[in-house]
Amino acid sequence: MRLHNLQPRPGAKHRTKRLGQGESSGHGKTSGRGGKGQTARSGSSIRIGFEGGQMPLIRRIPKRGFNNARFTIRYSPVNVGGLEVFDNGARVDEAALRAVGLANGKSAGLKILGTGTLTKKLTVVANSFSASARTKIEALGGTCEIVAAKPVEAVKP
C-alpha cells in the first residue's frame, strides 16, 4: 500500500444533494423546503421551543415546589485503583491527588470509590468513602480519615 493507493472505504463518500436542478431531479421547485413561509426563506431559523407565538409548553406548565438539586454537595470521584501511584505508607489528601491529576475541577471535596485494586498501605484523607473503598484500604492496614466538606457558595435563585 502506498499513498497514491489510499481511498475512502466504499460507501463512506456520498454525492452532494444538488438542490434546485429542475422538477424531474426530485429536488426542484421548492428544493426540499416545502411550501411558502418562514421555514422556506433563506437564513431563517426558529429557536427550540418556539410555537409560533403561542405560549410555549415550558411556560404553560406550573413551576411549584422545592428542588434540592441546588443544594447538593458535589464531590470529585477518585477510584481506589488510581491511588497506586503513591508510595507505600504515604498520606493521600486532596492536595496530593490534585498534584497527581486524579482530582480535577471545582468540587466541595473528594469521594473515594472502590473501583480497581490497591496493593499499598495508605492513609487516605477525603470527605467521603464508599463501603467497598473503605474495606479495600483498611484490609491492607491503611486508614480512612474523613474531613468536613468545604462550604459551597449559595447559588442565587
Q: Percentage of the chain surpassing pLDDT 70?
A: 95
List pLDDT tens digits, range 16-50.
Answer: 999 999 999 989 999 999 999 988 999 988 999 99
Alpha-helical runs (H) found in the chain: 57-60, 94-100, 131-139
Please determine, for residue 76, whether its predicted confidence score (pLDDT) is greater than 70: yes
Spatial distance between the Cα atoms of 124 and 134, rounded to a whole number of angstroms: 10
**Number of CB atoms found within 10 A of residue 152's CB:** 15
CATH class of 69-146: alpha beta
Looking at residues 80-95, what average pLDDT do you find?
A: 94
Q: Determine the Cα–Cα distance for residues 25 and 113; give it in Å rounded to an integer.
A: 60
Asked if 102 and 82 touch (Cβ cutoff 8 Å), the reply is yes
Q: Which of 71, 40, 33 is nearest to 152 (CA)?
A: 71
Contacts of 124 (CB under 8 A, 6+ apart): 83, 92, 112, 137, 142, 143, 144, 145
**Least confident segment among 92-101, 110-119, 148-157:** 148-157
